[in-house]
Amino acid sequence: MIEALLEGLFLVFQWPAIGFLFLGVLLGIWLGAVPGLGGIIGLVLLLPFTFGMETVPAFALLLGMFAVTSTSDTIASVMLGIPGTAASQATILDGYPLAQQGKAARAFGAAFTVSAFGGVFGAIILAVSLPLILPIIKSFASPELFVLGMLGLAMVGSLSGGSILKGLSVACLGILLSTVGYGEAESIPRYHFETEYLLDNLPLIPVVLGLFAIPEIMELAIRNVSISRVPKDQTVGGGMLEGVKDVFRHWWLALRCAAIGTYVGMLPGLGAAIVDWVAYGHAVQSAKDKSQFGFGDIRGVIAPEAANNATRGGSLIPTVAFGIPGSLGTAILLGALLIQGLKPGPDMLTSELHITFSMVWTIVIANIVAAGLLMIWSKQVAKIAFLPGHLIVPGVIMFVFLGAWLGGAALGDWISCLTFGVVGFIMKRGGWPRPPLILALILGNIMENAFQISMGAHDGYGWLSRPVVLVVLVLIALTIFMSARGITKNKAAQKEVEADDPASKARQEAAEGGAKNPMISLPFSIFLFLFFVWAGVQAFGWPESVNEFPIIATAPGAIMVFAVLLFEAKEAAHEVKVQGGISSAYKIALEKAVAYRAVLFFGYLLAMIIVMLVLGQKFSIPLFIFLYLIRWGSYNWRVALGYAAGGWLMMVGFYDRTLDLLWYPSWLSNWLPELLPSWIPVWFFV
Amino acid sequence: MKFYKSFLYTMGLLGVLSIMGISQSKAGFYDGKDVTVIINAGAGGGLTRTGRLFTTHMKKHLGKGANMVIKNVAGAGGVKGMNYMAEKAKPNGLTVLWGTSQQMAQLLKLPGVRFNLSKIAVIGAGGSSYLSIARSDFKPGIKQASDLLKVKKMIVGGRGTSDGLGIFARLPLDVLGVNYRYVPGYRGQPKLNAAIRAKEIGLLTTGGIGYIVFYKDTILKSGEAKALYYHSALGADGKFSDPGIYPKDVKHFLEYYKDTHGGKSPTGPLWEAYKWFSKFNSRPFGIYARKDNSPTHIAELRAAFRKTLSDPAFIAAWTKMVRSAPDFGVGKEVSWLLTDFDKISPGALAGMKKLTARKKKKKGGKKK
């Protein structure tokens, strides 16, 4: 084994493998950092180039890129509160508050150090536990995957925000939204409102970007603040070195979370999606002082970042050894393996072990290189936190809307992004946590599939008595119980702190799901309740094979939302009494939410979409950038024009020429090609 | 501001370099175009792998700078993907489907079918055989292929109700009279591979490529599973072909039946259905497009398909991955797959309907 280990290392360091590895790392850093791109797009883009390559250089390129997207996606999570990928959702809970406190560099220092640490230790744990892998995989069939999905949702529902009922209701909403489109068992469309766009499932990327990015970007736009609410010269203990030290202070937590990442990552289907939440949950449950989680506790960054990098190695081995991919990314890697003429099987752990180890080494080296490069660059990136918000908004909006467009290249993608931007804004202002919705949307299809297979393979509900299922169900109950107890304790402690420290209340309100605004939350809970009831009634009219899962989501969802509704009604009644009437209560609530400017901002985004219909994106986005900087940012026309031109170059150079993005067929695109002289490329404009 | 300026310069430089480095000319329809390739199966499975490989080579013959972009639309055994192409794709020559053609689903009017195969054109289609395998430890134990007949109730896994994997997994059991419970929903061979290893299912059917990639040197070699019988194309001479990739002791299902039934051949509607399916599923996957695309676009797609088949780079890559030479038919050579499939005998139709009848729920919530 040692010989294979060293031979694998030697193979990676050979030319051209090492060159391709560095190329992959650079691409991975870029793809992970830009919202809406990510490792899957990278794999799809790079795969055709590897067809004619030798095995080790091909995997150096693919794995080098894929391994580091979960390191660089931390940039969006920390700086913008946008989960760069599904595996970095938990990082936003504490990473973004740290950036708001002017400590983005500290968060980066911790995240990148622990990412390298997680990647390396994950690989070591993987190497020493090769004999355990098959028994672990064999003990997780469909019933176990279904309850594991439930555990993930219970964790995210309980841990994000100050209300378990709200968190779990939102998870039910996410499950319900995952059932939009053709059913899993039979191809009968659900909740598609007779639109073609919704026949397929609701696309994840536009929803994620709308739900997280737009509300956070709006915050910068409508309040005219920088990401950091604290001026640079007033930040204390926010340096990168401090973050590196944090990892060494919490080395035991990092090690445990790397192990969690490795083992959970092996589980086919959903390991990679829930791993950050399992690690985050573990960090919270095992901490003596839980009070700072959600408000910028560095352990809330260390835990998920250690785990999500370790997952890459964990999911690789079942793929190469047994042909069982743990995630969509590894499914594509499996394809690459077969195209290279290799077969997954015991040979990959015996005669071809050196190839397997070369892949593990690639992940290790890529993680270390990426962490080093990001450490160097992120000092500059962290400075963005102190830039005026108006300079950040147009660029991020461009990446957000192009990221949303990238997946389906349909008008519906932009409408989804904008719609979920509105939903995200209301949820943020009303104190409803958003991460459960996204995780449920990711897991919904997988869980429905696992549920139906479980019911079929085990002849009804017999699978509920399987040992692993019972253990996970107990874990779910414990998670909810412990979180409820933690929230109650924190609320009591918070009341005492607020009396002495008024800033504490503001910090509480800024945290995910922490806002208290019953005048906004109440109408949203009424809407959700009616939505659940309507969805349930619709589902009863469908065949059993497609209505089981929507009903599973709507029934508990409606009950929990009703409980929230009663609570919020009481709070709203109190607010109305205090403010001396319903109209003054609403006036104050809307002022608190800066609702007028928010509507105006949404108007700008809507206008950008309308202009796209006529002129196309290559005009509408630069126009938005230009007008925003002039009207909102009060910048001079030179800056606005330069920025807009930069945005246009990015669209043409990267999205059009490199990614081959299919642009919207605008009215202009129908006749402009005929008018242009042949020496001017049409793709400059449409 | 310094950082902002550097950022702008970098973006500008990147854009200019990208633009300078690339030029484009306008000649054929597909020059510089993106063609969306819907695959009606999950990522990581055989269809996606072969689809990626095929389209990587085909795009070179389609047009200068043409690109073929994969989009997996898995679910309902492939019906979902075909629906997607029939309903969502525009007839502008820029969307095709690589995958299974779904004749069974239309023939049996399965729930959710909203496509009409008479409105679909075959660009080209490939051949495959199938192999059924079972866990050796499935009660009371399957040490030899004939032990299958001793099983009281087999648990069979598959993708959907009307695709090749699902039909060839169940139909022989019905012909043999073996009791079983069918569990559809596995999105591809990697999922079925995981399920049979985790003992969630006892029997599955795989395509020839899946056999080589997932099972030949793993659970079949170790004895964890046993190869039962294979299924292959029924020719015009009424004989089943020999794919030549399975071990000598693994026989075609007809021979298996004869061996276990005192030399008698199977009869009846289920056997008629089996023969019909073996004929129309002899080329189970390929590239399909909406017929209302311009005839010129369809002809260009077929021409590119044909050129791909004689491209040495493609032949080498395909043989390396699949471990057998490419076996495809193009255009009108294989159009009968979608035009003649409904000429089915009443007996065979009755057999197919019996096989795919919707299961009713028992009292107490348990399924039959």
Q: Which residues of B touch A650 (CB under 8 A)?
A: 11, 14-15
Q: Is the pLDDT of residue A225 over 90?
A: no
Contact: B185, A323; criterion CB under 8 Å: no
Interface check for A383 against chain B (CB to CB < 8 A): the answer is yes
- What is the reported pLDDT for A677? 84
Interface of A with B in 522-561 (CB under 8 A): 543-545
- What is the reported pLDDT for B23? 39
Handedness of CA B146, B150, B151, B152 (dihedral sign): positive
Q: Is the pLDDT of residue B76 over 90?
A: no
Output the CA torsion A313→A316→A320→A325 (10° steps). Answer: 160
Residue A199: name the closest of A176, A179, A172, A174 by CA. Answer: A179
Q: Is the pLDDT of residue A593 over 80?
A: no
- What is the reported pLDDT for A41? 73
Quote the tokens at residue A251.
């080395």
Residue B183: name the closest of B107, B175, B198 by CA. Answer: B198
Residue A57: name the closest of A358, A348, A328, A315 by CA. Answer: A358
Tell which of A201, A338, A670 to mutate to test the B interface (max B CBs under 10 Å). A338
- What is the reported pLDDT for A187? 67
Question: pTM for this one?
Answer: 0.79
Residue A430: name the closest of A77, A222, A169, A97 by CA. Answer: A169
Q: What is the DSSP letter of A239?
A: S
Q: Least CA distance to A381: which residue of chain B?
A: B3
- What is the reported pLDDT for A303? 93
Q: Which residues of A touch B11 (CB under 8 A)?
A: 646-647, 649-650
Interface of A with B in 459-478 (CB under 8 A): 459-461
Cα separation, A273 vs A438, in Å, equals: 10
Quote the tokens at residue A487.
């929230």
- What is the reported pLDDT for A272? 63
Q: Which residues of B touch A669 (CB under 8 A)?
A: none
How do residues A33-59 score in pLDDT, each as one tens digit? Answer: 877 677 777 887 787 677 667 888 888
By the 8 A CB rule, do A272 and A38 touch?
no
Cα separation, A684 vs A320, in Å, equals: 44
Contact: B217, A345; criterion CB under 8 Å: yes
Q: Tell me which of B38 and A328 has the higher pLDDT.
A: B38
Q: What is the DSSP letter of A682?
A: G
Region A225-238: what's the mean pLDDT?
A: 66
CA distances from B93 to A381, A543, B22, B62, B98 (A): 44, 35, 25, 12, 14
How do residues A86-130 score in pLDDT, each as one tens digit? Answer: 667 788 889 888 888 888 889 999 999 998 888 887 777 777 776
The DSSP line for B111-172 is: TT----GGGEEEEEEE---EEEEEETTSTT--SSGGGGGG-SSEEEE-S-SSSHHHHHHHHH
Q: For residue B186, give how far its alpha carbon lies from the nearest alpha carbon of chain A (Å).
A: 8
Contact: A339, B53; criterion CB under 8 Å: yes
Closest CB from B48, B52, B193 relative to A323: B193
Interface check for A500 against chain B (CB to CB < 8 A): the answer is no
What are the strands of the beta sheet with B67-72, ordered from one edge?
Answer: B67-72, B34-39, B95-100, B285-290, B120-126, B328-330
How do residues B289-336 score in pLDDT, each as one tens digit? Answer: 999 999 999 999 999 999 999 999 999 988 877 777 888 999 888 888
Contact: B190, A325; criterion CB under 8 Å: yes
- Predicted confidence band of residue A248 (pLDDT cuts 50, 70, 90): very high
Q: For residue B123, give how far its alpha carbon lies from the nearest alpha carbon of chain A (Å).
A: 22
Q: Is the pLDDT of residue B4 over 70?
A: no
* Residue A515, SS3 per DSSP: coil
Cα separation, A629 vs B275, in Å, equals: 70
Q: For residue A39, give how far its alpha carbon lies from the nearest alpha carbon of chain B (Å).
A: 15
Residue B222: name the closest of B136, B323, B147, B151 by CA. Answer: B136
- What is the reported pLDDT for B25? 39
Residue with tokens 């020496």: A679
Interface check for B200 against chain A (CB to CB < 8 A): the answer is yes
Q: For residue A42, give how far its alpha carbon lies from the nearest alpha carbon of chain B (Å).
A: 13
Q: Which residues of A touch B62 (CB under 8 A)?
A: none
The DSSP line for B212-250 is: IIIITTTHHHHTSEEEEEEE--B-TTS-B---S-S-TT-
State residue B229 phi and psi, 5-degree precision.
-165, 160
Interface of A with B in 34-53 (CB under 8 A): 44, 47-48, 51-52
Please list the alpha-helical segments (H only) found in A501-594: 502-510, 518-540, 544-579, 582-592
Residues 6+ apart with CB under 8 A from A337: A319, A320, A343, A344
Quote the tokens at residue A191.
């909740």
Cα separation, A356 vs A342, in Å, equals: 11
How do residues B114-141 score in pLDDT, each as one tens digit? Answer: 899 999 999 999 988 999 999 999 999 9
By the 8 A CB rule, do A265 and A137 touch?
no
Q: For residue A249, give how far its alpha carbon lies from the nearest alpha carbon of chain B (Å).
A: 33
Residues 6+ apart with CB under 8 A from A395: A625, A643, A647
Task: List Cβ<8 Å contacts ≥24 apart for B135-139.
Answer: B135/B196, B135/B199, B135/B201, B135/B202, B135/B203, B135/B224, B135/B225, B135/B226, B136/B223, B136/B224, B136/B225, B136/B226, B137/B199, B137/B224, B138/B202, B138/B203
- Predicted confidence band of residue A558 (pLDDT cuts 50, 70, 90): very high
Q: Is the pLDDT of residue A151 over 60?
A: yes
Closest CB from A184, A460, A653 relative to B366: A460
Closest CB from A187, A339, A383 relative to B3: A383
* One-letter amino acid of A226: S
Closest CB from A48, A380, A653 relative to B14: A653
State residue A494 phi and psi, 5-degree precision.
-60, -40
Q: Which residues of A touch B33 (CB under 8 A)?
A: none
Q: Is the pLDDT of residue A606 over 80?
A: yes
Domains in chain B, start-ordered, CATH in brackets?
28-127+283-339 (3.40.190.150), 130-280 (3.40.190.10)
How do residues B323-348 score in pLDDT, each as one tens digit? Answer: 778 889 998 888 888 988 888 888 88
Q: Least CA distance to B154: which residue of chain A?
A: A457
* One-letter amino acid of B63: G
How do residues A498-513 score in pLDDT, each as one tens digit? Answer: 666 666 666 666 667 7
Residue A426: name the closest of A361, A510, A349, A515 by CA. Answer: A515
Interface of B with A in 14-33 (CB under 8 A): 14-19, 22-24
Which residues, listed in sequence order, are joined to residue B196 by a DSSP beta bridge? none
Burial degree of B181 (CB within 10 A; 0-12, 13-18, 19+): middle
Contact: B111, A186; criterion CB under 8 Å: yes
How do residues A193-214 score in pLDDT, each as one tens digit? Answer: 877 778 777 888 888 889 888 9
Q: Is the pLDDT of residue A224 over 70?
A: yes
Q: Tell me which of A672 and B228 has the higher pLDDT.
A: B228
Segments of A441-529 assigned E as strands: none
Which residues, listed in sequence order, are joined to residue B39 by a DSSP beta bridge? B72, B98
Q: Least CA distance to B56: which residue of chain A?
A: A48
A97-111 core/surface letters (b: 16 or more CB in 10 A; e: else): bbbbbbbbbbbbbbb
Burial degree of A641 (CB within 10 A; 0-12, 13-18, 19+): middle
Q: How far is CA A575 from the centre of its chain?
A: 35
Quote the tokens at residue B294.
């311009």
Q: Is the pLDDT of residue B368 over 90?
A: no
Closest CB from A200, A335, A343 relative to B73: A200
Closest CB from B19, B113, B366 relative to A653: B19
Q: For residue A561, give how far its alpha carbon lies from the nearest alpha carbon of chain B (Å).
A: 28
Interface of A with B in 321-360 (CB under 8 A): 322-325, 328, 330-332, 334-335, 338-339, 341, 343-347
State residue A501 phi and psi, 5-degree precision.
-130, 95
Q: Is the pLDDT of residue A436 over 70?
A: yes
ipTM above 0.85, yes or no: no
Interface of B with A in 204-263 (CB under 8 A): 212-214, 217-218, 222
- What is the reported pLDDT for A181? 85
How do residues B184-226 score in pLDDT, each as one tens digit? Answer: 888 778 889 889 998 999 999 998 888 988 898 889 999 999 9
Contact: B34, A660; criterion CB under 8 Å: yes
Q: For residue B226, give how far its alpha carbon lies from the nearest alpha carbon of chain A (Å).
A: 17
Burial degree of A485 (CB within 10 A; 0-12, 13-18, 19+): exposed
A1: how many CB neighbours lie within 10 A of its CB? 11
* One-letter amino acid of B37: V
Q: Which helix (H) or strand (E) holds B262?
A: none
Contact: B44, A325; criterion CB under 8 Å: yes
Q: Where are the domains of chain A?
A: 2-516, 612-684
Q: For residue B148, give how far its alpha carbon lies from the nearest alpha carbon of chain A (Å).
A: 19
Closest CB from A325, A456, A652 relative to B183: A456
Interface check for A136 against chain B (CB to CB < 8 A): the answer is no
Q: Is the pLDDT of residue A442 over 60?
A: yes
How do residues A266-308 score in pLDDT, each as one tens digit? Answer: 776 566 667 888 888 889 888 888 778 888 899 999 999 888 8
- What is the reported pLDDT for B365? 37
Contact: A649, B11; criterion CB under 8 Å: yes
Q: What is the mean pLDDT of chain A?
A: 84
- What is the reported pLDDT for B202? 96
Residues 6+ apart with CB under 8 A from A682: A672, A673, A676
Interface check for B299 against chain A (CB to CB < 8 A): the answer is no
Q: How many CB pairs under 8 A join A and B?
A: 206
Contact: B200, A457; criterion CB under 8 Å: yes
